[in-house]
Structure 1
Amino acid sequence: MRPSKRYPGYLRVQIHEYRLALLQTLREDAPDLIEQMGLQDTIADLAQRIREPEQYAAGGRLTGGILAHLGSSSALKTEARDFNTGAEEYYRTILRKEQMAEAFDLLQGECGLLDQQAAELDEPLRKALLLVLQGQSADQFLAAARQDILQEQADIPTLQRLMNLLLVKVHHDQQQTMTGRSELDAAAPVYRAG
């Protein structure tokens, strides 16, 4: 901190230090709340994002990806037009492909669980899965379609099957949520220790 030159009588605080002070205030003023709500990991993640923004904060990771794409070491040493063009290219190509692959991996994992639960599904959901997957497991279908989908070369029937599989999965998740909610509704809305 130092006295502000622009605003006499005020202190100038770096935003990084201000964020760390706010985090410390949370830790000091609300430890019971953090513990009761199970937010220890969230607070630790927040601390990492504040202390090492280039590696853990979204803005830092995006800027790092753009700079790597441009082969530059600093955003401030890069011409604004070049940085903006590079950012657009990075978002439309590299980042989009990475996020599509990550989303596909998550979908495969979730549908793998759906395959495992197939025998326990209700009749309409089993029929819908059978119709969509045409005798394959969800995992087999997604593994076979992965490359074409990620390279944006999938044909219309494959895309239709993928969309229908997503709809079946969403319906299944809604059923699971409703079943879980009815059990939760019976419990007390607030947990009070001791």
Structure 2
Amino acid sequence: MSSPLERRKHARLRTVLLASGTAFAVVAAGVWIILNGGNGPSDTARAAESAPKATAPLADASQTAPRPATRVAKPRPKKVATKPKHKPKKKSRAPRVVRTGSCQASYYGEGQTTANGEAFDPSEMTAAHKTLRFGTRVRVTNKKNGRTVTVRINDRGPYISGRCLDLSTAAMRAVGGTSSGVIPVRYQVLARH
């Protein structure tokens, strides 16, 4: 099988040979008439009729007129929904206060087992209360200096009149009351999550 370029070359060669053959036949007819002493136009017409007729060159696919370029629509890329890199953080709301009060608070630091079964750790922010459920969070504010700490109830007590909270050593230190031992506090019981 020949390539398109070779087919084009062969088609052009056929066209040139055919045209040159026709031209040669016309010239030969004219020479023959002249040599034979022709009688004018009728002989010329007869010579032209006897000359081989030119035929149209064979149509070649490569010889056809070029087609106008058609635009091919490029497919548009689909938009892909992208996930945000970071989920927006939910605004932390201040915990809801369900009960408030004022009393005296003391602190303790002896190692023992608490009423809920935990080993007491004086460095944690914990406290004892007579009735609040274990795990309840309480915000405690020292009335003298305004310092605040949030503690988790994990024990029962204190059992001394006028006191409502017994803070761990770390919690009492956070509100600045270790030097006096007992301080006036305002407390806020926070809603459970």
Verify same fold: TM over 0.5: no
**By percentage of residues, which structure has more helix?**
1
* TM-score using structure 1 length: 0.20
RCO greater where, 1 or 2, for CA within 8 Å and sep 6 or more? 2
* TM-score using structure 2 length: 0.20
